[in-house]
């Protein structure tokens, strides 16, 4: 019997993802998929605490990474027609698409503030670290490949349009997470015409950017509307906001205890204690040991901790007894009284016996990792380009030719929220806080 020529992976979004076993590049990609660093992404949830509001949103960064790889390969095949793309650059791009999220910490963006650098920084460190399996696999295939992968992630890989397949306003990452998050959460907001959009993408004559043909304007409008509504209705849902703020509060309390010399249940020199304490460079191996499962294990232990604040917050999270949220303003209003009112709210929490550092949480929507299209992005990839009407070859921002896009980009959505327990010691805290901020 002849050996199989293809490896097929079933995916709920893209159906079949195929790899040619006769291709050295595809065999490398399959080895990378099996690497410890990529398999770790099975233990990192794609959209953090969203399953608190959308029970189906339990999917992982692993399945998303496979989807991004699949779309990047499709985009590369479509866009490289008539373009000179060196084989090593094409392979580096595909590796970058698969590896673009290996730097995520537990619950994706939720705990990012506790690490030295964003997940993009960690992805580069992991790819460049000689101790990691992904680096060893890349280097074994080609000693220059790790550096080329980093260039693809940084957007400096030549030709420059290649990097925009994995890092731009029209990249495989955004295309996949909108469709995947919409499907898995059970909402319809993230649906858009991907196939039409892919067919209308082009490489600019300058070679430094992608653009969409003018007849692709309607699919672009739908795509951007999908992003906008997924942001408002899913990524920044009030329940998701409460859960993520509470997880942050738990880690803040654990960090404060650790810095006071009493790390909760941790060996002082353990990797997690060093991460919480900060003040020193975190080793890649320590970072890679930190995932959702580890954090959930610590929540279970901390729910029985002697520290009442840490125990209370941990129990609330584990049992989904979440804080309430209250909208108190937005950036567009530029409410100069917010800081004064926040200080008064903290005094109120002190009066009822709750430490406002952990029980009165101020959340800005601009802190959210997913954002609607903002045409003020940096570089060619920060803008969605199309041809100016009646001027073939001259590119402009899509908002300049679409009133629909312009309407929801000139006033980007922003929101300020308070997150706090509804009641304490028999006292309902909502009326007093509502009067304070709305009076």
Q: What is the CATH number of the domain that holds 163?
A: 1.10.3210.10
CA distances from 197 to 202, 221, 351 (A): 10, 11, 56
Q: What's the pLDDT at 437?
A: 83
- What does the pLDDT average to over 266-273? 79
Asked if the structure places residue 15 within a domain, the reply is yes
**Structure tokens, 375:** 């045409």
Q: What's the pLDDT at 87?
A: 96
Which of the given ranges, 2-6, 367-371, 405-409, 429-433, has the highest pLDDT on average? 429-433
How many domains does the chain fold into?
2
Shared domain check, 248 and 115: no
CA distance 146 to 144: 6
Nearest alpha-carbon partner for 101 in 140, 153, 29, 35: 153
Shared domain check, 174 and 121: yes
Asked if the structure places residue 69 within a domain, the reply is yes
Q: What's the pLDDT at 439?
A: 59
> Residue 113 CA to chain centroid, in angstroms?
13
Instruction: Average the pLDDT over each of 5-14, 213-222, 406-415 and give the range with the smallest value.
Output: 406-415
**Structure tokens, 88:** 């090593």
Shared domain check, 64 and 194: yes
Shared domain check, 127 and 15: yes
Q: What's the pLDDT at 279?
A: 60
CA distance 303 to 262: 16
Percent of all residues in the chain with a pLDDT value above 90, rounded to a whole number: 71
Question: DSSP letter string over 208-237?
Answer: S-EEE-GGGHHHHHHHHHHHHHHIIIIIT-
User: Residue 44 sits in which domain range?
Assistant: 6-229
CA distance 258 to 153: 35
- Tens digits of residue pLDDT in 170-196: 999 999 999 999 999 999 988 999 999
**Structure tokens, 210:** 């992608």
- Tens digits of residue pLDDT in 208-244: 999 999 999 999 999 998 988 898 899 999 999 999 9
Task: Give the residues across from 326 on adjacent strands.
Answer: 418
Q: What's the pLDDT at 381?
A: 74
Largest CA distance in the chain: 79
Q: What is the CATH number of the domain that holds 291?
A: 1.20.1250.30
Shared domain check, 219 and 118: yes
Give the HSE-up count for residue 190: Cα atoms under 13 Å, Cβ half-sphere.
Answer: 22
Q: What's the pLDDT at 367?
A: 43
Asked if the structure places residue 432 within a domain, the reply is no
Contact 251, 302 (CB under 8 A): no
Q: How confident is the model at residue 373 (pLDDT cuts 50, 70, 90)?
A: low
Q: How confident is the model at residue 295 (pLDDT cuts 50, 70, 90)?
A: very high
Shared domain check, 202 and 290: no
Residue 332 has pLDDT above 80, yes or no: no
Asked if the structure places residue 285 within a domain, the reply is yes
Q: What's the pLDDT at 370?
A: 42
Long-range contacts of 302-307 (CB under 8 A, 24+ apart): 302/250, 302/254, 302/264, 302/265, 305/264, 305/265, 307/253, 307/257, 307/264
Shared domain check, 242 and 176: no
First to last CA, the chain: 79
Strand 201-203 to 15-20 pairing: unpaired
Count of positions (residues) in the chain = 439
Asked if the structure places residue 100 within a domain, the reply is yes
Asked if the structure places residue 334 within a domain, the reply is no
Answer with the one of 320, 338, 372 that is the final residue of a domain: 320
Type and span of the H or E element at 116: none
Name the residue with higher pLDDT: 320 or 1.
320
- What does the pLDDT average to over 138-165? 97
Residues with Cβ within 8 Å of residue 435, at least 6 apart in sequence? none
**Structure tokens, 116:** 């030295």
Residue 298 has pLDDT above 80, yes or no: yes
Name the residue with higher pLDDT: 334 or 293.
293
- Tens digits of residue pLDDT in 66-123: 999 999 999 999 999 988 899 999 999 999 999 999 999 998 888 887 777 789 999 9
Q: How confident is the model at residue 424 (pLDDT cuts 50, 70, 90)?
A: very high
Which DSSP letter does residue 108 get?
B
Asked if the structure places residue 342 within a domain, the reply is no
Shared domain check, 257 and 146: no
Q: What's the pLDDT at 411?
A: 62
Residue 301 has pLDDT above 60, yes or no: yes
Shared domain check, 147 and 206: yes
Asked if the structure places residue 192 within a domain, the reply is yes
Q: How confident is the model at residue 369 (pLDDT cuts 50, 70, 90)?
A: very low
Shared domain check, 39 and 108: yes
Answer with the one of 190, 205, 229 that is the final residue of a domain: 229
Answer with the one of 320, 337, 359 that is the final residue of a domain: 320
Shared domain check, 212 and 245: no
Mean pLDDT of the chain: 90
Shared domain check, 191 and 158: yes
Q: How confident is the model at residue 368 (pLDDT cuts 50, 70, 90)?
A: very low
């Amino acid at each position: 019997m002849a050996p199989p020529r293809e490896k097929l992976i079933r995916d709920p979004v893209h159906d079949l993802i195929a790899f040619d076993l006769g291709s050295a590049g595809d065999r490398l990609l399959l080895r990378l998929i099996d690497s410890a660093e990529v398999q770790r992404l099975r233990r990192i949830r794609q959209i953090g605490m969203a399953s608190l509001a959308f029970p189906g949103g339990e999917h992982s960064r692993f399945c998303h990474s496979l989807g991004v790889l699949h779309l990047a390969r499709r985009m590369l095949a479509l866009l490289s027609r008539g373009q000179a793309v060196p084989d090593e650059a094409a392979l580096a791009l595909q590796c970058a698409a698969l590896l673009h999220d290996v730097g995520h910490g537990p619950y994706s963006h939720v705990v990012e503030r506790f690490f030295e650098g964003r997940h993009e920084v960690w992805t580069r460190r992991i790819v460049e670290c000689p101790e990691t399996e992904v680096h060893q696999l890349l280097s074994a295939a080609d000693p220059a490949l790790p550096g080329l992968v980093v260039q693809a992630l940084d957007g400096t890989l030549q030709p420059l349009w290649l990097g925009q397949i994995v890092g731009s306003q029209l990249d495989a990452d955004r295309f996949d997470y909108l469709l995947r998050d919409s499907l898995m959460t059970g909402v319809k907001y993230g649906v858009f015409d991907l196939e039409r959009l892919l067919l209308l993408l082009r490489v600019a004559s300058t070679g430094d950017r992608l653009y969409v043909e003018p007849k692709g304007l309607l699919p672009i409008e739908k795509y951007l509307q999908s992003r906008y509504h997924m942001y408002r209705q899913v990524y920044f849902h009030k329940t998701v906001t409460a859960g993520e703020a509470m997880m942050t509060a738990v880690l803040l309390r654990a960090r404060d205890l650790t810095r006071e010399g009493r790390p909760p249940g941790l060996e002082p020199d353990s990797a997690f204690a060093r991460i919480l304490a900060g003040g020193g460079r975190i080793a890649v191996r320590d970072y890679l040991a930190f995932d959702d499962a580890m954090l959930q294990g610590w929540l279970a232990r901390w729910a029985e901790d002697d520290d009442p604040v840490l125990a209370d917050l941990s129990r609330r999270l584990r049992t989904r007894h979440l804080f309430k949220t209250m909208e108190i303003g937005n950036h567009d209003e530029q409410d100069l009284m917010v800081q004064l009112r926040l200080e008064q709210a903290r005094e109120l929490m002190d009066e009822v016996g709750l430490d406002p550092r952990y029980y009165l949480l101020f959340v800005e929507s601009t802190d959210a990792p997913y954002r609607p299209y903002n045409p003020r992005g940096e570089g060619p990839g920060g803008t969605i380009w199309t041809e100016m009407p009646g001027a073939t070859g001259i590119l402009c921002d899509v908002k300049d030719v679409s009133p629909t896009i312009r309407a929801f980009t000139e006033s980007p959505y922003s929101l300020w929220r308070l997150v706090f327990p509804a009641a304490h010691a028999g006292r309902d805290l909502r009326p007093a806080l509502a009067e304070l901020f709305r009076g």
